[in-house]
Amino acid sequence: MELLPAMKLGWLNGWLMLALFFLVFGILILVFPKEIVAKLYNTTGWSRNQRILTSTGKILSAACMILVIFTPLKIGQGIFIVGSVVYLLGFAGMVVALFNYRNTPADQPATQGLYRISRNPQWVSLAIMSIGTCMAVGSWAAVLLFAIAVLFYHFRLLGEEQACLNSYGESYRDFMKRVPRYFLFF
């Protein structure tokens, strides 16, 4: 891993991993019922600060993505293999969490599948996948940018949980007591 690997346009850059995710995510969003997709983006009850902090996280994530897009994958190196395995674990978790979410009636909180061990398995999986991508290109700068973005996204998760409390009331409050925000901790 390097702090800032050489950047250049290329076919074997980190954009490949990002493109796979966005392709699959985009297809799933298109085929999922509209009320489920709307529920994914519910920002009811978010504070102004949560919106600002989430926007800051998005800017940092975009900077990380730009870095990854223009950085060649470290194919043939151990860090590429480790990063790819981490990416695939996160990718699989994201797809499973999305289907768990899809299979939940729109008027109920998602509590099945990966939601039994995390209130936010989509975000945790996305973070795992993103760290794997940063590792596969061998960039400490990308890892650092994304790690800082994750801190800002924590406030987005607080907003999402508030939106769920507003929508589902006591059933979501009980869910919050039983299941950690992130996998097995916190």
Give the tens place of pLDDT for each residue, 133-180.
Answer: 999 999 999 999 999 998 888 888 888 888 888 888 898 899 999 999
Which whole-number Å values give the CA distances from 124 to 14, 74, 166, in the listed order? 20, 24, 23
At residue 186, does pLDDT exceed 60?
A: no
Return mean pLDDT, the chain. Answer: 89
Cα(79)–Cα(73) distance, integer angstroms: 9
At residue 94, does pLDDT exceed 90?
A: yes
At residue 40, does pLDDT exceed 80?
A: no
Query: Among residues 61, 59, 57, which one has the least CA distance to residue 160?
Result: 57
Report residue 62's pLDDT band, with 50, 70 and 90 as the boundaries. Answer: very high
Positive or negative torsion for Cα 173, 175, 179, 180: negative
Helix or strand holding residue 154 (H, E): helix 140-168
Q: How many CA atoms lie within 13 A of 91 on its CB side?
A: 17
pTM for the complete prediction? Answer: 0.86
According to DSSP, the residues that pair with 185 across neighbouring strands are: 182
pLDDT above 90 covers a percentage of the chain that reads 54
Cα(30)–Cα(68) distance, integer angstroms: 26
At residue 41, does pLDDT exceed 80?
A: no
pLDDT score at 160: 83
Taking residues 128-136, report their average pLDDT.
95
Residue ranges of domains in the chain: 47-178
At residue 44, does pLDDT exceed 80?
A: no
pLDDT score at 185: 58
pLDDT score at 127: 93
Which whole-number Å values give the CA distances from 50 to 57, 59, 157, in the listed order? 10, 14, 9
At residue 79, does pLDDT exceed 60?
A: yes
According to DSSP, the residues that pair with 13 across neighbouring strands are: 72
* Helix, strand, coil distribution of the chain in percent, nearest 5: 70, 5, 25
The amino acid that residue 179 corresponds to is V
Report residue 107 as tokens: 């008027």
pLDDT score at 128: 94
